[in-house]
Amino acid sequence: MSWKRLFLGLLTYALAKNCTKQEYTAYKERSSFRLHDLPYTYQDLEDYMWQQSLYFHHKKHHAAIVKQLNVLVSNKTEYQDLLVEELLMKYGETDNEVRKWAGGHYNHMLFWWGFGPAACLKAEPEGSLGRAINSTWGTYDDFKSNFTTYSGSVFGSGWVWLCANSDGSLRIAAVKEERSPLIGEECFPFLGIDVWEHAYYLQYIQQRSDYVEAFWNMVDWNLIEYFYEEFASKGEAVVV
C-alpha cells in the first residue's frame, strides 16, 4: 500500500466517524403520509445550500405537497393502502392530481435522501454503479457534464434524474413539473435534482447553473449506489 493510499484511507476513516446522517429508512407509508425530518440538520449542507433555503423547501414546499397528497388519498378509496410509488405507477398516467402530489412527495423524498453532510460523502460513485456510469458515459466527469446540460435545458419547472431502464442500463431523464419517470415505468429514478426555482432562487437567484454545480458537492454516493444496486438496477422503484 502506498503512503498516499494509506493517508487517504485514514482520512476517510477519520471523517466517516463524524458522519451524522440518519441511516436510510423505507417508511413504507400507505393511505396517510408524513413530512419526515431530513436525514441531516438544516445547517449540514450550508456550504452549498443555505439553511433558510433548505428549510423553506422542506417545511413549506414539501409540506404543502404532503398535505395535498393526504387530501387526495383520503377522498378516493382506490388510492388507499398503496405505497406512494405504487400510487404513482398505477394512477400517475391517468390522474393529474396523483402526478402532482404523489409525484411531488416521492421526488422530494428521494431528493433529500440523496444528500449528506460533507463527512459522509465520497467524491465519486464506485462499485457496480461506478462501472455502469463509466460504460454509459465514458467517465464520471462525462456523466456529470451530461447531467448538468440536461439540468440547464429544462425550461421552467422540473427535475432531472439519473435512472435505470428496466434492464438496469442507465440514462438521464428530464421531466416537467412533478411528473416522475416512474410513471409508465419510463425508468427507475435514484438520483435527482429539483430545478424548480423554489429550490435555488433564495441563494442563487436566477443562476441555476451555479446551483447545479453546487449540487455535486452534496451527493451521497454511498446511498445512491445502494439505491441503484438494491432497486433501480432490478427494475424496481426505490421504496421511500
End-to-end CA distance of the chain: give it in Å, rounded: 40
CB of 194 to Mn ion, least distance (A): 4
State the number of CA atoms in the 13 A half-sphere of 186 facing the CB. 17
Q: How far apart are alpha carbons 149 and 141 in whole angstroms?
A: 12
State the number of CA atoms in the 13 A half-sphere of 3 facing the CB. 0
Over the window 167 to 196, marking each residue x when it contacts Mn ion by CB under 5 A and - when it does not, the resulting string is ---------------------------x-x
Ranges within 11-40 binding Mn ion (CB under 5 A): none
CA distances from 240 to 90, 94, 160, 195 (A): 16, 22, 18, 21
Nearer to Mn ion, 120 or 199 (CB): 199
CB of 166 to Mn ion, least distance (A): 27
CB of 66 to Mn ion, least distance (A): 12
CB of 159 to Mn ion, least distance (A): 8
Nearer to Mn ion, 41 or 157 (CB): 157
CB of 28 to Mn ion, least distance (A): 23
- Binding residues for Mn ion, rule CB under 5 A, total 2
Instruction: Please list the alpha-helical segments (H only) found in the chain.
Output: 3-16, 51-56, 63-74, 84-91, 96-113, 127-137, 140-153, 201-204, 208-215, 221-230
Residue with the three cell numbers 410509488: 85
Ranges within 195-214 binding Mn ion (CB under 5 A): 196
Q: How far apart are alpha carbons 209 and 87 in whole angstroms?
A: 33
For residue 158, what are the β-bridge partners? Answer: 176
CA distances from 198 to 20, 41, 206, 216 (A): 26, 19, 11, 19
CB of 240 to Mn ion, least distance (A): 15
Nearer to Mn ion, 85 or 194 (CB): 194
Q: Residue 97 interacts with Mn ion (CB under 5 A)? A: no
Q: How far apart are alpha carbons 83 and 172 in whole angstroms?
A: 25
Nearer to Mn ion, 112 or 196 (CB): 196
Nearer to Mn ion, 101 or 196 (CB): 196
Nearer to Mn ion, 44 or 194 (CB): 194
CB of 177 to Mn ion, least distance (A): 10
Nearer to Mn ion, 62 or 129 (CB): 62
Q: List residues binding Mn ion (CB under 5 A).
A: 194, 196
